[in-house]
Amino acid sequence: MIFSSILPSVIGYGLGVKLSVLVVCGQLVHHVLHRLCPLQGRSAIVERLPRNGFSDGDVKGFVPVLVHFVYKEQHGHVEFDAQTLAGEYPIFRYRQRDAFFRGFDLDTRYYVLPQRLYARLKGSMVWAEELKTGRYFPYIPALRLTEEVGLRLDLPKHWESELSVSHLFVDRQHRFDRSTDLTDSPDPYHLFGLEASLTKPLRGRQSLRLTLSVDNLFNTEYKEYTNRARYYAHDAGRDIRLALRWHF
């Protein structure tokens, strides 16, 4: 087996997006990394995307080896031993294993009109297995992608306004050990959000900001894989917040 590292650069049309990709091949990497990293370690690649009047952002890749990684796992396949007044609940136990993680974080923004109209893309992905056996760890986040479009306007009397609409996609988690989970992983879901704000500059660096934000705009029913409450109920529904902030 050959252990190789490839870091190509890809220029995205109109965005100047440069992505760093780390490709690790073969089972030999497990043995090599375990020898090179006897203690908890972290290897990371950070690529700053080109900054100009129209785009900015960065991509972060990581390949850490964690020795004695601590995590919680359901004890047994379908075991309900915890007796409470509310009923029976599964038992989760802490375990330790050497872990091999890989993943990336992406955050990039493109200005259609500089400092006025922008589009933003964020994403993250994690792979995690036991170093020796290759068995998947439980409750590792699935693929997440967020798209956002925002508009900024100057109003009379030095008021500033901003309106943004966002969409979050979370994929179904396929990389988990079904023999140690009570149910299958939840279905993928889409959530939409809305935020509107008004800002009034005051003396010096002070300002007042009034913000109305709505999460899960369409009150979608969904379950998050990393939330153990998913065994009993759906995640939060529509959330509407009105906030007044005084910056001083």
Residue 26, pLDDT > 80, answer no
CA distance 109 to 116: 12
pTM reported for the whole predicted model: 0.75
Mean pLDDT score across all residues of the chain: 80
CA 128 to CA 201: how far, in whole Å? 47
User: What region, left, alpha or beta, does residue 229 occupy, with left being phi > 0 and alpha being psi -120 to 50 degrees?
Assistant: alpha
Looking at residues 6-10, what average pLDDT do you find? 30
Nearest CA to 146 out of 120, 164, 119, 168 is that of 168
Tell me the pLDDT tens digit for each residue of 28-65. Answer: 444 444 444 444 545 555 566 666 667 888 888 888 88
Please state the separation of Cα 226 from the chain's center in Å. Answer: 11
Number of Cα atoms under 13 Å in the Cβ half of residue 79: 12
Which tokens in the block code for residue 21? 């990709």
- Residue 20: pLDDT over 60: no
Nearest to 221, CA basis, from 211, 207, 231, 235 = 235
Beta carbons within 10 angstroms of residue 161's beta carbon: 14
User: Can you read off the two tokens belonging to residue 107?
Assistant: 């955050």
Q: Tell me: the pLDDT tens digits for 163-218? A: 999 999 999 999 998 888 888 999 999 999 999 999 999 988 899 999 999 999 99
**Over 50: is that where the pLDDT of 12 sits?**
no
pLDDT confidence of 4, banded at 50, 70, 90?
A: very low
